[in-house]
Homo-oligomer: A and B are copies of this chain.
Amino acid sequence: MNNENKYTDLGFAKLDMERTKRRGYSEAVFCECKTKEQLSGIFLSFKENGSNVIGTRANAEQFEYIKQTVPEITFNKEGRIIQLIQNPINKIGEVAVCTGGTGDIPVAEEAAATAEFFGSNVKKYYDIGIAGIHRLFDKIDEIKKANVIIAVAGMEGALGGVLAGMVDIPVIAVPTSVGYGSSFHGLSALLTMLNSCAEGMTVVNIDNGFNAGYSANQINRLIAGKK
């Protein structure tokens, strides 16, 4: 281990071992572009260091392989998340995770699981998109009780803007790549969200449930009085 900067250098990766101390939150690992051998080494290092770690955009094959070395990990298949929790965190506050449609659920699950991993209570409101806006109105009073809202939507992506126009808490919008034709793999929803006239909404990358969950948790915990 590098003494001064407190990271472990595996050659192909440099792991931040003191992140919880230094930045307040555990490390996250983007699994999609890593080999299963690399991931196995990474999770083992965190295990040996006694840290929590979350792996995103992981698949079942990666999970099975890593599990042989680090059997403590768990897998959220729908949210594509591998977790190693060695120091359980106390969940506080509340984050509302909403989706426009059923197809947006995998990204929403990634966001929800991430927010929970880093210490937030999460409530889910799925399939409340604007094509049938009465479904949203049914839930709005409950949604408003959260500290932060995550709005996950593909195609026209208008859910976030409608929500932001009705509440006075922060909304984090996540465009999804659900759709076809001129949705252009999420570009349509991304542009809709960036151009919303409703104030108080910010946006993350297409399909980036992880960052939405991370950011929502960060804000939620700060509002709830803790990091």
Contacts and interface: CB of A to CB of B under 8 A. Distances in A.
A207 B180 contact: yes
A127 B186 CA distance: 28
- Copies of this chain present in the complex amount to 8
Interface in A195-215: 195-208, 210-211, 214-215
A194 B200 contact: no
B170 A215 contact: yes
Nearest to A184: B191
Interface string A162-178: 10111111101001011
A157 B188 CA distance: 11
Contact of A182 (B156, B194, B202, B219): B194
B199 A190 contact: no
A121 interface: no
Interface of A: 2, 4-5, 7, 11-14, 16, 23-25, 28, 30, 32-34, 38, 57, 100-103, 105, 126-135, 138, 147, 155-158, 161-162, 164-170, 172, 175, 177-208, 210-211, 214-215, 218-219, 222-223, 227
